[in-house]
C-alpha cells in the first residue's frame, strides 16, 4: 500500500519478505522442520540456520533487483531483525553494495514499539487482524493460531534489543502505533519522505469511499476541464447519492464528504450533505430534477470539506476543448501526450506527475483516517486515478489509464495483505469519458 506508493511518485519499489522465502523452503521440504513457534527459538540451532538461509536468499534477491534498475528505488527488507548485532550485519551488507557511480546503498531501519496496556491491546488487535489471516496460519484454527503467534513473540523477546542512537544507523521508531516517534539521522530525500509517511500512518482498519461527480455539461459535450454545472442526469445522480450511501453505511455514521473547489463536485455532494432538517452546508441545487426525492440517511449532517488540492488536472491552454479539437490545434502535443501520458504536461497546465505531488497532502490525510472516521470523496477522474493508484500500488505506466466511470461509488479497504475493493453502480446513464479505453479498477 503506502510504501509501494513510492512507485506512484516516481521511485520503483518492492517488498522483500523473508517469511515468504521461509515458507517456500518449507514447501520444498515437506519432511523438514515444523515452522511453529519453536522454529523461532533463538537457541534452536537448526531453525536459526534455516532462517539465516532464507534471509540470505532474500537479501541477495533484493540486491539483484536494485542493481537491475537504472534509477533510484526503494527496497523494503521485511524481517524481525531483533538484535543490534543482526542489524549491524544487515547494515554492513547493504551499504557494501555500490552503484555504477560508486555510491553505496542507503539503509534505514523502521521499528514499531508498543508499551503497557495500550501496547498489549495493539498487539492482540494486530495478531487478530493481520497475522491470523496471513499465510503462516492459512487453515489454522484461530485460537490455535493466536496461542502460537503469542508464543512466537515470546521467542523474539528472549533476545530483543530496541534500537538506540549508539548503533550509529538511521532509524525511525514508531511508538505506541503513532502516539510518538523517534527519528534518528535520516539521510536524504527518500528517507525523509518515508519518515513523513510513517508519521501520518494509521494502522487501524478503515474504508474510504469515492465517486466521480455526476455527469456534467462538459462531459456531454466531450470537453475537458472547465467548471461546468451538472447535466440533468448528473443532478439525478446527485439526488440518488444519499440513498446509495444510506444503504452502504449505518445511519449513525459520522460521514465526511470531501469535494474539490469546482462546482460539479459540490453540486454532486449537495444532497448527500443535507441534514435531517434538509439544510445543506454546501451549495444547494438550483434545479431539482423530476422524480428526485433525496433523503437524509444519517442522524447527523455529514461534514462537507472542499479541497483546492482535489481540483481536476489543469489542462492549461486545452481547457474547454474536446480531444478532437486538441488533436487538430496541437497535434505535436497530442502525440506527446499519447507517448507518455504520466509526464506529459499541458501547455500552461499540469501533468499526472504534477497532480500526484499536488494531492499528496490529501493522501496523507486519508492515511490518517481511523476506524471511527468515514470519508467519501466526490472528485474527478484524474484525481481519483491517483488516489486509487496509491492504495492499490499501481505505478506510472498504469495510473493514467485506470478506469473510474461516472455514476459509480467505489469502496477501498486497505489491509495488511492488499486492498479490498467493492463498487456500486447507479442505474442512471452517463456518457463514456476519456480519450482511450481504460483499465477497470475493480
Least confident of 3-12, 37-46, 48-57: 3-12
d(CA 354, CA 345): 8
Res 295: pLDDT: 59
In the numeric block, which cell numbers belong to residue 47?
531453525
Res 409: pLDDT: 98
The residue among 264, 259, 267, 283 whose CA lies nearest residue 216 is: 264
Whether residue 122 sits in one domain with residue 11: yes
Choosing from 148, 213, 367, 380, the catalytic residue is 213
Whether residue 237 sits in one domain with residue 186: no
Q: What are 231-247's pLDDT values in tens digits?
A: 999 999 999 999 999 99
> By the 8 A CB rule, do 365 and 197 touch?
no
Its domain, for residue 238, covers: 208-440
Whether residue 50 sits in one domain with residue 179: yes
Averaged over 49-54, what is the pLDDT?
A: 95
Dihedral over Cα of 108, 114, 120, 126: its sign: negative
Whether residue 219 sits in one domain with residue 156: no
Q: Of 178, 199, 220, which residue constitutes the final position of a domain?
A: 199
Q: What are 268-300's pLDDT values in tens digits?
A: 999 988 754 454 544 444 445 545 556 557 878
> Is position 27 annotated as part of the catalytic site?
no
CATH number at residue 318: 3.40.50.1240
d(CA 124, CA 312): 42
Q: Of 138, 167, 199, which residue constitutes the final position of a domain?
A: 199
pLDDT bucket at 96, cuts 50 / 70 / 90: very high
Whether residue 368 sits in one domain with residue 307: yes
> Is position 227 annotated as part of the catalytic site?
no
Res 286: pLDDT: 47
Q: What are 363-414's pLDDT values in tens digits?
A: 999 999 988 889 999 999 999 999 999 999 888 899 999 999 999 999 999 9
Choosing from 148, 215, 311, 312, the catalytic residue is 312
> Is position 78 annotated as part of the catalytic site?
yes
pLDDT bucket at 440, cuts 50 / 70 / 90: very low
- Per the structure, how many domains does the chain have? 2
CATH number at residue 91: 3.40.50.300
Q: Of 141, 167, 199, which residue constitutes the final position of a domain?
A: 199
Say what the pTM is.
0.86
Choosing from 20, 36, 61, 78, the catalytic residue is 78
Res 76: pLDDT: 95
For the cut 80, the answer to whether the pLDDT of residue 212 exceeds it is yes
Whether residue 181 sits in one domain with residue 33: yes
Amino acid at each position: 500500500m503506502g510504501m509501494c506508493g513510492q512507485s506512484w511518485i516516481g521511485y520503483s519499489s518492492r517488498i522483500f519478505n523473508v517469511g515468504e522465502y521461509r515458507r517456500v523452503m518449507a514447501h520444498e521440504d515437506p519432511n523438514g522442520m515444523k515452522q511453529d513457534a519453536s522454529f523461532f527459538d533463538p537457541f534452536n540451532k537448526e531453525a536459526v540456520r534455516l532462517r539465516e538461509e532464507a534471509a540470505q536468499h532474500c537479501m541477495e534477491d533484493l540486491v539483484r533487483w536494485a542493481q537491475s534498475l537504472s534509477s533510484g528505488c526503494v527496497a523494503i527488507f521485511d524481517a524481525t531483525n531483533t538484535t543490534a548485532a543482526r542489524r549491524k550485519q544487515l547494515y554492513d551488507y547493504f551499504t557494501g553494495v555500490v552503484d555504477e557511480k560508486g555510491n553505496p546503498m542507503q539503509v534505514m531501519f523502521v521499528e514499531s514499539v508498543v508499551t503497557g496496556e495500550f501496547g498489549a491491546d495493539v498487539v492482540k488487535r494486530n495478531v487478530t487482524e493481520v497475522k491470523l489471516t496471513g499465510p503462516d496460519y492459512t487453515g489454522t484454527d484461530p485460537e490455535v493460531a493466536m496461542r502460537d503467534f503469542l508464543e512466537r513473540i515470546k521467542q523474539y523477546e528472549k533476545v530483543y534489543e530496541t534500537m538506540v542512537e549508539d548503533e550509529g544507523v538511521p532509524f525511525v521508531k514508531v511508538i505506541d502505533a503513532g502516539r510518538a516517534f523517534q527519528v534518528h539521522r535520516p539521510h536524504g530525500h527518500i528517507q525523509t519522505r518515508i519518515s513523513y509517511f510513517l508519521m501520518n500512518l494509521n494502522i487501524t482498519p478503515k474504508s474510504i469511499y469515492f465517486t466521480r461527480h455526476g455527469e456534467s455539461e462538459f462531459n456531454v459535450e466531450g470537453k475537458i476541464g472547465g467548471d461546468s454545472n451538472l447535466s440533468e442526469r448528473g443532478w439525478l445522480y446527485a439526488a440518488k447519492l444519499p440513498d446509495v450511501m444510506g444503504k452502504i453505511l449505518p445511519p449513525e455514521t459520522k460521514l465526511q464528504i470531501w469535494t474539490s473547489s469546482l462546482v460539479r463536485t459540490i453540486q454532486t455532494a449537495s444532497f448527500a450533505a443535507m441534514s435531517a432538517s434538509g439544510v445543506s452546508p454546501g451549495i444547494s441545487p438550483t434545479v431539482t430534477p423530476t422524480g428526485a426525492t433525496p433523503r437524509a440517511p444519517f442522524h447527523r449532517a455529514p461534514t462537507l470539506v472542499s479541497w483546492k488540492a482535489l481540483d481536476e488536472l489543469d489542462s492549461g491552454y486545452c481547457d474547454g476543448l474536446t480531444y478532437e479539437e486538441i488533436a487538430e490545434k496541437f497535434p505535436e502535443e497530442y502525440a506527446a501526450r499519447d507517448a507518455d501520458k504520466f509526464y506529459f504536461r499541458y501547455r500552461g497546465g499540469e501533468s499526472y506527475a504534477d497532480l500526484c505531488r499536488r494531492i499528496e497532502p490529501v493522501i496523507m490525510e486519508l492515511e490518517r483516517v481511523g476506524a471511527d472516521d468515514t470519508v467519501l470523496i466526490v472528485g474527478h477522474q484524474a484525481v481519483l486515478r491517483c488516489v486509487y493508484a496509491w492504495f492499490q500500488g499501481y505505478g506510472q505506466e498504469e495510473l493514467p489509464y485506470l478506469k473510474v466511470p461516472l455514476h459509480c461509488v467505489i469502496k477501498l479497504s486497505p489491509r495488511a495483505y492488499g486492498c479490498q475493493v467493492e463498487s456500486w453502480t447507479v442505474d442512471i446513464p452517463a456518457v463514456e469519458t476519456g480519450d482511450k479505453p481504460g483499465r477497470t479498477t475493480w
